[in-house]
Amino acid sequence: MRMRKKQWAQPELNDCPFFCKDAAAHQGDWRKEFCRPEAPLCLELGCGKGGFLSQMGLAHPEQNFIGIDLISNMLGVARRRIVADYEAAGREVENLLIFSWDISRIKEIFPGEKNISAIYINFCNPWPKAGHHKRRLTHPRQLEQYKALLSPDGKIIFKTDDSPLFEASVEYFREAGFRIEYLTRNLGESDFPDSPATEHQLMFEAEGIPTKLLVARPE
Ligand SMILES: C[S@@+](CC[C@H](N)C(=O)[O-])C[C@H]1O[C@@H](n2cnc3c(N)ncnc32)[C@H](O)[C@@H]1O
């Protein structure tokens, strides 16, 4: 996703109480950042403009969510979306945190973590060229990292518009030692509950491209 530089993004993020400026310096004790540190902790990887994160945070006040994205500009947009949604709902942003990090190195910022309840990966870049497959956020070497962070009954929920990425990911999950417990190639016609639409999902579904979704748990 290309985005023009937004001069306001970083200053607004710097003043934002739910934005972490230096994830590397944090040493991974993320739960203490939340009003309810004991609540289940969920991650969204590549949260983009924040629509999914915001809707999940509002729908699940009993859970804490961390949204991670590489691009600060994107997080600036996400911050505005989250503030607007929570204000409209008359709620304080108490169960969300966002920060910038390269997910290919996610284990570095979650040292010793073994208790993440859910990891959401929504419409990640499909990296179609064979030589780039290792960059996919669902590549087995990535899934191995996520698996180490999950609680024994934790899960990964993956959505995409991209059929080749989805079919390859089904194999990636199996290869990395996950059991696929739910799979649909048309979310709109499925019985899957509780998956708010992301910005990319709305865009692709408007073009008639169905969303594929799977839920996987460590075996
Ligand atoms: C195609 S967009 C999808 C955004 C959002 N999840 C949605 O469904 O609308 C992919 C997002 O993942 C982020 N991203 C891609 N690779 C990443 C990485 N290695 N680490 C962190 N974020 C990454 C991009 O900056 C972008 O915001």
Same fold: 8-18+38-101 with 131-219: yes
Nearest to 43 by CA among 107, 92, 93: 107
Range 94-107 burial, b when 16+ CB lie within 10 A, else e = ebbbbbbbebeebe
153-208: per-residue pLDDT in tens? Answer: 999 999 999 999 999 999 999 999 999 999 999 999 999 998 999 999 999 999 99
pLDDT at residue number 76: 98
pLDDT on residue 101 = 97
Nearest to 50 by CA among 82, 7, 94, 4: 82
Helix axes 51-59, 72-88, angle to 10 degrees: 40
Query: Would you say 200 and 48 are in contact if contact means Cβ atoms under 8 Å apart?
Result: yes
- Alpha carbon dihedral 145, 146, 148, 151, in 10-degree steps, equals 180
Backbone angles phi, psi at 181, to 5 degrees: -100, -10
CATH class entry, domain 8-18+38-101: alpha beta
Q: How confident is the model at residue 2 (pLDDT cuts 50, 70, 90)?
A: low
pLDDT of residue 26: 85
pLDDT single digits (tens) 73-114: 999 999 999 999 999 999 999 999 999 999 999 999 999 999
Report the interhelical angle of 140-149 vs 163-175 (nearest 10°): 60
Q: Separation of 69 CA from ligand 1 center, angstroms?
A: 6
Query: 143 C-alpha vs ligand 1 centroid, how far in Å?
Result: 16
Q: Are 67 and 56 in contact (CB under 8 A)?
A: no
What confidence tier does 64 reach under pLDDT thresholds 50, 70, 90? very high
- Nearest to 213, CA basis, from 186, 191, 176: 186
Output the ligand 1 site: residues, CB below 6 A: 1, 46-48, 68-71, 74, 102-104, 122-125, 198-201
Token couple for 213: 């979704």
Q: Give the Cα separation of 92 and 69 in Å (integer).
A: 22
The structure's pTM equals 0.97
The mean predicted confidence, pLDDT, of the chain is 96
Cβ(19)–Cβ(98) under 8 Å? yes
Which ligand 1 atom lies nearest to the CA of residue 46?
12
Helix (H, G, I), strand (E, B) or coil at 36: coil
Distance 90 CA to ligand 1 centre (A): 28
Nearest to 69 by CA among 98, 91, 29: 98
Q: Domain segments of the chain: what residues?
A: 8-18+38-101, 131-219
* Highest CATH level, class, for 131-219: alpha beta
